[in-house]
Structure 1
Amino acid sequence: MRLFDLLYRQLEENPLPDAFAHKVLGFWKKYSTVDSLKIVNQLSQGLIELGIKPGDKISIVSEGRPEWVFVDLACQHVGAVLVPLYPTLSTQEYQMILKESEVKMIFVSNGVTLKSISSAAQKIGIDSIFAFNKIGGVKSWLDVMREGKGKNKEELEQRMKDVRAEDICTIIYTSGTSGAPKGVMLTHTNIVSNVIESSKVSTLDKGKDRALSFLPLNHIYEKAGIYIYIYSGIGVYFAESLEQIADNLKEVKPHTFNTVPRLLEKVYDKILKKGSELSTIKKGIFNRAISLGLKYDPNKNQGPLYNRQLSVANKLVFSKWREALGGNIKQIQCGASALQPRLARVFWAAGIHVLEGYGLTETSPVIAANRMDAIKIGSVGKVYDNLEVKLGEENEILVKGPSVMKGYYKNEELTREVLSDDGWFKTGDVGKIVDGYLHITDRKKELFKTSGGLYIAPQQVENKLKEATIIEQAMVVGEGEKFPAVLIVPNMDEVLTKLSGTYSLMDFEDMRRDPKVRKLFQDEIDRANEILGKWAKIKEFRLISTNWSPETGELTPTMKLKRRVILEKYKPILDTIYANKSDFDLSKFENMKIEDMSLEELEQFEKMESL
């Protein structure tokens, strides 16, 4: 089966009046399955008329919208290869990718995306640019359709017959947390096999339910998600923007959506903030509901008293949460980074079923996922039946199966580094398997050693720290140094709330040196340190005044830390952490009892503990 066959399957089994929809001039414009196929076929004929050959590369730089999917499917019909790109890349990144992949044609969304890529396209000599929105002086995607009207029908039929399941259908350049982007070559089989397996764990009603899409389609997570919806007969509604998701949820009343942990964290923080503003009586009810939620376990019956209390909390508090999501949510898929277990517990207690999964662009993407009838909070679920997983050196997760990529585009050396001759792909993630459930413990490349030779797993500490409402972001540092430290981006609204607004007019530089402010963060670090061995405890921290984001370069578009970028950007601050510290070997004392220490060692130990 080829990827474009999925929409024909929908036509046969679950034709929809709203296969795709988006907001146009304040109203939801819907495309039926029949309408969508007509548009895709005419676009395909237009691409042939404009000289696109099998194997040619076409790029899309746009937010999610029906036209994005139509162009994607048209590329597949004619044997072209889609190279989707983030609208937030730099000119240099666009130029590198467009040149390496030899893109022949580009589709952009609007004037903003056109401006971001046009200079790179001009330098390489790409002049075939089409826009989804009307832009003066720029050809429209509708012009491609007009070019193909009534033409090339027989050639299109032959092109579609010639497309093989093992052909590459897309090259996705990973955003990367370090180094240059890599072009991941994915075949029809890669993605289709993952789509079919993912649909098996769904509880959605085919031909009836709706999904809201707001994550970037050029990321395999959401791109594959759209094809899962197509395969399962689920209508796809594209949100207007991240800022308008709340309104779109109430309008569309979806049954599902894909998300990343950072967005759920922001939703939860807003909920807590609203709860803190309630009257005394209502605040008590709200806090009790949160307390019950934090204890929730979907696999454990906690007795009649707990169940009765949870039932009351559902009626008085959690029902409002569900209503804010549209009132119809059956399941939410969450991936791209680790979900805090406390969030999963609270949302499940509220009847909002967040299913955490795990995968990579190179595995099309899903490797493992929790499901409604098999969930383990804190894990990423059970491995898909059509995949094999084993643990390699340093417990690195290795995966083998039909969804593993063909390789990196024009980079055989890097392909050989991660993909063995017998098909095992090295994920770079460290994990463990407990009772059949896969747990991700860290990123192999993100593990680092202190100067004492002991490993630090930063994600574990960072996730613990981010449980605090006063911490927006955190990154553990200390590779090659004597002890680990952490850079913290504060949630200033929460800090001021906890300090009763005392510091609202104080300069940030003065505020972050204030003992009361520092104690707030030190208390959270002390709580995180409770789960760590002595060598891994955070000894120092620094507060950062500006938020990290994909736009400013510290985060990938899926909200992962770009560690190398952050280390370079904040080097002067890091230098203040590690300057003028006594030269102690922290690992020296790990297995030594105090009573066995010499006087000199005891003095060193006491100084070390005071750092």
Structure 2
Amino acid sequence: MAAVQKTIVFTSNNLAPIRRTSPAAVIDESTFHLARMIADSAERFADRPATRVEGPDGQWTTTSYAGFHRQILAFARALVARGIQPGDRIAIFANNHPEWSLADLGALSAGAVVVPVFAASTAEQVRHILVDSGSRMVVVAGQREAEIVAEAMTPSTSQGNGDGGSVAEPVEVVTFDGLWRMLEEENRDQADEVARRIEAGRSEDVATIVYTSGTTGVSKGVMLAHGGFGNQMVAIDACWDFQPTDHSVCFLPLAHSLERLWTFHLFHCGCMNTYSPNPKKIGELLPKARPTLLVSVPMLFEKVMTGAKEQASSPVARGVMDWALRVGGQCQRAHRKGKEPAAYWRAQLPLADKLVLSKIRHAVGGNKTLMVSGGAPLRREVEEFFSAAGILLGQGYGLTESGPMMTIYRNDHYKLGTVGFVIKGSQIRIADGGEILVRGGSVMKGYWKNPEATAEAIRDGWLHTGDVGHVDPDGFVSITDRLKDIIVTANGKNVAPQAVEAALMADPVFEQAIVVGDARPCLVAVLQPSRDGWTTLATELGLSDDPTALAVDPAVREALTRRAADLTSGLAHHEQVRGVVVAHDRITMANGMVTATMKLRRRTIERAFAGQIDQLYKDLHGRRRG
């Protein structure tokens, strides 16, 4: 019998509209253009702060909307003066900084198409993006990035490179210092041409080509239109009411489509954006910046939770934390049901908040109007942790190809453990096999210069996400796994590895966990402890704290095998982990096993540990026979 296909559509009839009080312009996605959006915001919010960044001396440098827009137009004029034509591609290769957004919106105001490059990209990855996109210019932060571009574009790597591309024209490299020198040029003769291009810009014009992080194969360039961003902003406006007094921290890489959309929407609403040039220092920045809005991947929220629990090192401190989280959790669960918490729990809340819960909020910069997790699955335990502390941490879901958002939540309409409901104006369908399909105004125009891949991804108007999930009776979407990641054991059992990995990652000892078992008799896992995890293991086993030695110590492997077995013992028999391979520090972005958006490249990891995995299965088989 064929599977039933179900379509869920969110419209204004599904959910009562929020009461919007923002002075931002109402968006008409049919005429939307990002260059006109920032011009409108500069007029509406001229004196309000647009960007902020902390200097080496610890002082903030803040730029108003009017000043920011003057810089944007100056860069656009400089581009026109250099012969940049509408549709030309300009790449940006840098960590987050106000100059990133300045170059972005300046290029868009000149009619160019922006190509973001993750700051952690290798020379080979940079070469592929610049060659494939045909970028004429690349804006880089400084000397480090300029040297990587130079290495990438030397004849030895740019010709005969195996990806079917070569450098058509020299690529001009502009550092942030060079960008500022360009802004000092008058170029007044170009002002009318820039104004003409902004006015002539159409919603269907390609705004950006975003290269997917590529968990499998070579990354492809996703073309997103100005109107697609407008569609996404309409959906955000339908759920959240950003005020000009709200402010956010730009922490996720701006090359990440979610951070880029978020930043555009902040500028649309007149909010301030505080940039985090060094993502490793986000823990120090958040209490200083105290943003009212925050979007991030789960890793940041996991680290806050793990750090808070590790600080409670003594039995007494752990007992106090457990008690405080229990009190906060009981109160919040009552609120979620629309009830008043029992007097017993209300009476304990002030002390619990003073001793523990307020400190959790301080770690993420204080109270939040909105805190969103996206880009990867978020464990229910993390949601409950922040909920107990008085912060709703909601999830969204999407792909670069979907623009990126597909689902969203509201502070008055959410369900923990789900990724929210489908955004306004889009449709979701669950196809045979459980794959999630989506269509709507923000879906990509296609893959750059790759009609075959486009036809494979978008069929009959539906974008095939490759993700498996379901929609519950209340319209909330849950993601269970990647379609290609589903493990089918030798016994014919289907296993969604993300659920098993989530059970393993509940143990703070582990930094990475990858489940393996396709066409095998049982599941095993490749486990990589964190730095603190190695210390914990050394202390528990009475061994020296040397991760290199610990990784090959049989006692460590036995201990981790017991942990994995205990953590998965509550799962179905075929979902339990029977053995482990111990990784030291090999599962990193630097060696290609983790993407720039912190997704694991499963097949790459399995190939890297293939010998150890094969030996583990031989050992397990020998034990069963014995």
Tell me the CA shift for residue 312 of structure 1. 3.0
RMSD of the TM alignment (CA)? 2.3
Q: Deviations over 1:133-185 (max 9, x none)?
A: 4xxxxxx0123324453121221122112211001010000112111001000
Q: Deviations over 1:308-363 (max 9, x none)?
A: 33443122211122223332432211100001101101101101221211011011
Partner of 1:198: 236
Partner of 2:287: 250
Partner of 2:71: 39
Q: Deviations over 1:276-335 (max 9, x none)?
A: 15xx54443223123445665352346332343344312221112222333243221110
Tell me the CA shift for residue 499 of structure 1. 6.2
Tell me the CA shift for residue 64 of structure 1. 1.1
Q: TM-score, normalised by structure 2?
A: 0.87
- Determine if contact 2:68/2:102 at 8 Å carries over to the other structure: yes
The counterpart of 1:284, out of the listed 297, 319, 327, is 319
**CA 1:281–1:564: 2 relative to 1, 3 Å:** closer
Partner of 1:586: none
1:115 aligns with 2:139: no
Tell me the CA shift for residue 268 of structure 1. 1.2
Please state whether the residue corresponding to 1:64 is helix, strand or coil: coil
Partner of 1:427: 465
Letter in 2 for 1:287: D
**CA 1:464–1:294: 2 relative to 1, 3 Å:** farther
The counterpart of 1:554, out of the listed 586, 593, 597, is 593
Please state whether the residue corresponding to 2:396 is helix, strand or coil: strand
Of residues 572-581 and 467-476 in structure 1, the stretch that sits farther from structure 2 once superposed is: 572-581
**CA 1:463–1:282: 2 relative to 1, 3 Å:** closer
1:77 aligns with 2:109: yes
The counterpart of 1:458, out of the listed 469, 491, 497, is 497
Letter in 2 for 1:379: T
Tell me the CA shift for residue 451 of structure 1. 2.3
Equivalences for residues 188-337 of structure 1 within 5 A: 188-204=226-242, 206-277=243-314, 281-292=316-327, 297=333, 299-300=336-337, 301=339, 303-337=342-376
Within 2, Cα distance between the matches of 1:381 and 1:143?
46
**CA 1:276–1:291: 2 relative to 1, 3 Å:** farther
- Determine if contact 1:215/1:222 at 8 Å carries over to the other structure: yes
1:385 aligns with 2:424: yes
Please state whether the residue corresponding to 1:179 is helix, strand or coil: coil
Tell me the CA shift for residue 527 of structure 1. 2.9
Letter in 2 for 1:32: S
Q: Deviations over 1:201-235 (max 9, x none)?
A: 2254x121211111110110100010111112210
Please state whether the residue corresponding to 2:527 is helix, strand or coil: strand
Q: TM-score, normalised by structure 1?
A: 0.89
Tell me the CA shift for residue 9 of structure 1. 2.7
Of residues 150-159 and 546-555 in structure 1, the stretch that sits farther from structure 2 once superposed is: 546-555
Within 2, Cα distance between the matches of 1:511 and 1:61?
36
- Determine if contact 1:286/1:317 at 8 Å carries over to the other structure: yes
Tell me the CA shift for residue 404 of structure 1. 0.5
1:3 aligns with 2:71: no
Within 2, Cα distance between the matches of 1:575 and 1:131?
48
- Determine if contact 1:187/1:406 at 8 Å carries over to the other structure: yes
Within 1, Cα distance between the matches of 2:532 and 2:544?
9
Please state whether the residue corresponding to 2:468 is helix, strand or coil: strand
**CA 1:325–1:538: 2 relative to 1, 3 Å:** closer
**CA 1:510–1:97: 2 relative to 1, 3 Å:** closer
Please state whether the residue corresponding to 1:371 is helix, strand or coil: coil
* Identical-residue share of aligned pairs (%): 29
Partner of 2:125: 93
Partner of 2:172: 128
Tell me the CA shift for residue 439 of structure 1. 0.4
Letter in 1 for 2:121: L
**CA 1:485–1:202: 2 relative to 1, 3 Å:** same
Tell me the CA shift for residue 244 of structure 1. 2.2
Q: Deviations over 1:56-101 (max 9, x none)?
A: 1110001111111111112211211111101222222222221111
Letter in 1 for 2:590: E
Please state whether the residue corresponding to 1:529 is helix, strand or coil: coil
1:104 aligns with 2:136: yes
Please state whether the residue corresponding to 2:371 is helix, strand or coil: strand
Of residues 56-65 and 563-572 in structure 1, the stretch that sits farther from structure 2 once superposed is: 563-572
Please state whether the residue corresponding to 1:42 is helix, strand or coil: helix
Please state whether the residue corresponding to 2:139 is helix, strand or coil: strand
Of residues 399-408 and 548-557 in structure 1, the stretch that sits farther from structure 2 once superposed is: 548-557
Within 1, Cα distance between the matches of 2:612 and 2:479?
30
Within 1, Cα distance between the matches of 2:230 and 2:391?
28
Q: Deviations over 1:491-542 (max 9, x none)?
A: 352454366462234675556645476335423433323122x233222112
- Determine if contact 1:84/1:172 at 8 Å carries over to the other structure: yes
Within 1, Cα distance between the matches of 2:37 and 2:445?
21
Within 2, Cα distance between the matches of 1:33 and 1:16?
6
Tell me the CA shift for residue 251 of structure 1. 2.3
1:179 aligns with 2:217: yes
Of residues 266-275 and 8-17 in structure 1, the stretch that sits farther from structure 2 once superposed is: 8-17
- Point out which structure has higher relative CO (alpha carbons under 8 A, 6+ apart): 2
Please state whether the residue corresponding to 2:595 is helix, strand or coil: coil
1:48 aligns with 2:80: yes
Within 2, Cα distance between the matches of 1:538 and 1:398?
31
- Determine if contact 2:229/2:403 at 8 Å carries over to the other structure: yes
The counterpart of 2:526, out of the listed 487, 490, 496, is 487
Structure 1: runs of 5+ lacking an equivalent: 134-139, 584-606
Letter in 1 for 2:570: E
1:564 aligns with 2:591: no
Within 1, Cα distance between the matches of 2:307 and 2:592?
25
Within 2, Cα distance between the matches of 1:51 and 1:479?
54
Within 2, Cα distance between the matches of 1:209 and 1:375?
22
Tell me the CA shift for residue 192 of structure 1. 1.5
Letter in 2 for 1:383: V
Within 2, Cα distance between the matches of 1:282 and 1:234?
39
Partner of 1:162: 200
Within 1, Cα distance between the matches of 2:570 and 2:318?
30
Equivalences for residues 13-28 of structure 1 within 5 A: 13-26=44-57, 27-28=59-60
- Determine if contact 2:114/2:208 at 8 Å carries over to the other structure: yes
- Determine if contact 1:332/1:353 at 8 Å carries over to the other structure: yes
1:365 aligns with 2:400: no
Within 2, Cα distance between the matches of 1:17 and 1:233?
7
Partner of 2:3: none
The counterpart of 2:479, out of the listed 434, 440, 463, is 440
**CA 1:142–1:516: 2 relative to 1, 3 Å:** closer
**CA 1:505–1:378: 2 relative to 1, 3 Å:** closer
Partner of 2:161: none
Structure 2: runs of 5+ lacking an equivalent: 1-31, 156-166
Tell me the CA shift for residue 103 of structure 1. 0.7
- Determine if contact 1:396/1:427 at 8 Å carries over to the other structure: yes
- Determine if contact 1:220/1:364 at 8 Å carries over to the other structure: yes
Tell me the CA shift for residue 23 of structure 1. 2.4
Please state whether the residue corresponding to 1:306 is helix, strand or coil: helix
- Determine if contact 1:17/1:30 at 8 Å carries over to the other structure: no
Letter in 1 for 2:97: R
Of residues 263-272 and 47-56 in structure 1, the stretch that sits farther from structure 2 once superposed is: 263-272
Within 2, Cα distance between the matches of 1:24 and 1:393?
53
Please state whether the residue corresponding to 1:151 is helix, strand or coil: helix
Tell me the CA shift for residue 250 of structure 1. 2.5
Tell me the CA shift for residue 462 of structure 1. 0.5
Letter in 1 for 2:510: I
Within 1, Cα distance between the matches of 2:615 and 2:328?
41
Of residues 372-381 and 8-17 in structure 1, the stretch that sits farther from structure 2 once superposed is: 8-17
Please state whether the residue corresponding to 1:276 is helix, strand or coil: coil
Please state whether the residue corresponding to 1:152 is helix, strand or coil: helix
